[in-house]
Amino acid sequence: MIVKTFILASICGMLFILFTYAFNLYPETTLDLYRDNNIYRYSLGYRFPTFLPNFYFHLVLCWFFLRRDNANVVDIIIISIINYYIYILTDTRAVYYLVILTCVIVFLLKYCNINYRTLFLGGLFRFLTKYSFLIFGAIAIYFQYTYNPEINWMANLNSIFSGRLALGHWGFELYDIKLFGNFVEFVSILEASASDKFFYIDSAYVQLLLVYGIVIYFLIMYGYTKIGKEIINNDNKYFGMVLILLFAHSITDPQLMSPEFNPFILCLGYYGLARYKDNVFK
């Protein structure tokens, strides 16, 4: 019911914003939205060009979570076409490729009948369903903590990820890793000035670790690991796919802990109540 409500609310909200944007009801942004290659990124009524693609990515995950084996080629084609046009307008590359990957995985899960019992791939699928938070979190934290711009491959990787490694590393320089986190003062692009430089940690894992601390980080990781085991026991391969892609997305984007983007954060609350644990799979 939560996911259905989220889908309905998201579609209505996105259509309303796009409709009002089409009639120029929003003021022109003062931000420089040109890429270095001179490509203009349309915000489409949102504060930043990345907002709509990220809403769309989570909407796609919710759609396939509900459709499961009822998803078909028509779903995949329509989602891919919309994804392409959003990419052309916003030039948000990471989400564009993640939506493509989502469609490919859904196709394989359904038409190649891949599940947790499939030889070879089934073992990898089980492993990632249980431990992808741990794996992707470790990757994100390691590369941002150890980032050194004087190392060529790291500098190139930082460029590919639009400066995210440098910003994450700056976060580790400014704030210590504490048991219960820090009061982290972010400076958005809209607030940045000559005296206050732009500062924002995009990685959900680094943000979670620095803002909420080690205790909350490991509690959330433990909760998602337990949910992953239950997903395997219930053979809910589409839910497993959703979690893996959410955690992969969280390497570079911060929406993991934001219920307005990610309704699956609420499954941690359901799982914490043994009486309602089975509701996670409804």
Whether residues 135 and 231 share a domain: the answer is: yes
Q: How many domains does the chain have?
A: 2
CA dist 222 and 228 (Å) reads 10
Whether residues 10 and 108 share a domain: the answer is: yes
Neighbour count for residue 59 (Cβ, 10 Å): 18
Separation in Å, CA 190 to CA 187, 199, 201, 211: 8, 11, 15, 21
Q: Count how many residues are written for the chain.
A: 282
- At residue 170, the pLDDT reads 94
Whether residues 205 and 99 share a domain: the answer is: no
- At residue 45, the pLDDT reads 86
**Going by C-beta distance under 8 Å and a sequence separation of 6 or more, which residues neighbour residue 270?**
276, 277, 279, 280
Decide: 268 and 226 in contact? Cβ < 8 Å: no
- At residue 29, the pLDDT reads 67
Whether residues 24 and 56 share a domain: the answer is: yes
Q: Per the structure block, which two tokens stand in for 158? A: 């930082």
- At residue 194, the pLDDT reads 66
Task: Confirm whether pTM is higher than 0.85.
Answer: yes
**Going by C-beta distance under 8 Å and a sequence separation of 6 or more, which residues neighbour residue 166?**
147, 149, 158
Whether residues 135 and 58 share a domain: the answer is: no
- At residue 210, the pLDDT reads 96
Last residue of a domain, one of 48, 79, 112: 112
Whether residues 85 and 206 share a domain: the answer is: no
From first CA to last CA, the distance across the chain in angstroms is: 8
Last residue of a domain, one of 112, 128, 159: 112
Mean pLDDT by runs of 10 across the 282 residues of the chain is 90 93 77 73 86 96 95 96 95 94 95 88 94 97 96 93 92 94 85 77 96 96 92 93 97 92 86 57 58
Decide: 100 and 80 in contact? Cβ < 8 Å: yes
Whether residues 238 and 100 share a domain: the answer is: no
CA dist 106 and 237 (Å) reads 10
Last residue of a domain, one of 95, 112, 129: 112
Decide: 70 and 39 in contact? Cβ < 8 Å: no
- At residue 27, the pLDDT reads 74
- At residue 104, the pLDDT reads 97
Whether residues 140 and 223 share a domain: the answer is: yes
User: Residue 218's domain spans which residues?
Assistant: 114-282
Whether residues 99 and 128 share a domain: the answer is: no
Q: Per the structure block, which two tokens stand in for 207? A: 């943000």
Whether residues 54 and 172 share a domain: the answer is: no
Strand runs labelled E in 141-237: none
- At residue 82, the pLDDT reads 97
Whether residues 214 and 108 share a domain: the answer is: no
Whether residues 159 and 97 share a domain: the answer is: no
Decide: 104 and 215 in contact? Cβ < 8 Å: no
